[in-house]
Structure 1
Amino acid sequence: MKNNRVLLKRYVSMVLGVFIISIGIALFKESHLGNDPISALNMRIAEIFGIPYGFQNLLCNILFFLIQFIFGRKYIGAGTFVNGILLGYIVSFFYAILLRNFGPAEEHGLIIQIVWAAVAVVVTSLGVSLYQTADLGIAPYDYLSLGLRDKTKKHYFACRMFTDGICALGTFLTGGLVGIGTLISAFGLGPVVHFFDTHVSEKLIGYTPEGEKEEEARDALKG
């Protein structure tokens, strides 16, 4: 019974995490100081081809999912599909609300833009923490760095820097916005995510991926 409650909490937290991450990305976009590298690239590609961002994000995730399906099936779960299919559309929905109610942040000066970006850091980090702690599958783009780590045996941080760097470079070369928000998303969210892991997500869900592995190891020993 306890395991069922924890599993339900994990699913709720995963879905909630995707929604909160989407709000965070919309806040970064509202700041006009740059988004996380993959979102920035998808936004730019959507602008170039004149298609909705949500649809472009879905197309991109389908491509990445094919790679994940071939090389990293163990990382596929419900969270893979919820994130891969819905995130872009949720971002567009919340950004439209922000734009309608507050207008472009750059019209109000750099201080206001920084405030939006700071709020975006907190919101996005909370969403990432809930999503990752739920441990119900890796988003297709996030798999790329994990898969690269598995294949090359390099440190995860280096692999993540490589995939994010490629996306940031692609955004820059196609005339998209690469700014302080991009750098914060790529390198600065980690400590804030860790804070939410420890003080919010793990306590709220009552579960950690590491704890699950330890319990499985104990059960194996008993068996």
Structure 2
Amino acid sequence: MKREMRQKLMSVSGVIICGASVGIFQKIALGTDPFTCFVTGIANVFSSTYSIWYVILTGLMLVGVAVLQRRYIGFATLINLFLTGVVADAMHDLLDFLLLDPTFGTRCLLMAINILIMSLGASLYYVANLGVSAYDAIALMASECYHVASFRVCRVTTDVFCVAVGFFLAADVGLGTVITAFFMGPVVQWFTDHLALPLLNGGPLRRQAMPREA
């Protein structure tokens, strides 16, 4: 299989997996990642669904990115825009059917498993390197193009803003939010070294750094 095709398949798979993990986080209600927290809060205000407001808010940010720094937009950016919210809502509905009233222990177990799921999806998506989400692009632009601060500072700032807005608008902020913010990085790197890079290269494991967008 050609490298370009592997990149596209990894991008689509990664976005679908990440979307499913968002739906799991929403179901277990132990906190979500910062951007999901933000989108959920806005959706709460309008008594609407996550998928609708994910497309609206990401689309608005995408317009800004296209005007300011189009180079961050690629195949994966568009896949992320149209698939993530739909997959998240579908997974949430499926879990509502399968798990009517999960216990706290079950929710904690699902959260631990879901960290692995989201990390796998993120690894595939980042390593494919066919563009980043509009939300990722904001911190990258601020850091690389406008030199506001380091990427880490810019990303922490956007994450804190999203969590604050989500918390104020009654979105789930909890243990899952903290874990995704501080502990996903090493897990994503493990999947990158042991799965994503070998898939992309079509050969044995070669330890490499993740793309800068990660």
Q: TM-score, normalised by structure 2?
A: 0.90
What's the CA shift string for 1:111-145, capped at 9, x where partnerless? 22211111110000000000000000111111111
Unmatched tracts of structure 2, length 5 or more = none
Q: Are 1:61 and 1:85, in contact at CA under 8 Å, matched by a contact in 2?
A: no
Letter of the 1:192 partner, please give it: V
Matched residues, number: 205
Out of 127, 131, 139, the position equivalent to 2:133 is: 139
Cα distance in structure 1, aligned partners of 2:136 and 2:69: 11
Q: Are 1:40 and 1:176, in contact at CA under 8 Å, matched by a contact in 2?
A: yes
Alignment correspondent of 2:71: 74
Shift of 1:53: 1.3
Alignment correspondent of 2:199: 204
Higher helix share: 1
Letter of the 1:144 partner, please give it: I
* Percent identical: 27
1:29 counterpart = 2:26: yes
Cα distance in structure 1, aligned partners of 2:82 and 2:22: 15
Out of 94, 109, 113, the position equivalent to 1:115 is: 109
Shift of 1:47: 2.0
Cα distance in structure 2, aligned partners of 1:7 and 1:199: 20
Cα distance in structure 2, aligned partners of 1:49 and 1:104: 26
Larger radius of gyration: 1
Q: CA RMSD in A?
A: 1.8
What's the CA shift string for 1:59-117, capped at 9, x where partnerless? 00111101211222111101010001221011001111011101243xx12x2221111
Alignment correspondent of 2:118: 124
Cα distance in structure 2, aligned partners of 1:167 and 1:128: 19
Bigger mean CA deviation after superposition, 122-131 or 181-190: 181-190
Cα distance in structure 2, aligned partners of 1:136 and 1:17: 12
Cα distance in structure 1, aligned partners of 2:96 and 2:32: 16
Cα distance in structure 1, aligned partners of 2:79 and 2:143: 24
Q: Are 2:33 and 2:181, in contact at CA under 8 Å, matched by a contact in 1?
A: yes
Q: TM-score, normalised by structure 1?
A: 0.87
Shift of 1:194: 0.3
Deviation above 4 Å: which 4+ runs of structure 1? none
**Map 1:169-184 → 2, pairs under 5 A:** 169-184=164-179
Cα distance in structure 2, aligned partners of 1:159 and 1:139: 15
Cα distance in structure 2, aligned partners of 1:40 and 1:60: 13
Cα distance in structure 1, aligned partners of 2:50 and 2:28: 17
Alignment correspondent of 2:14: 17
Letter of the 2:197 partner, please give it: E
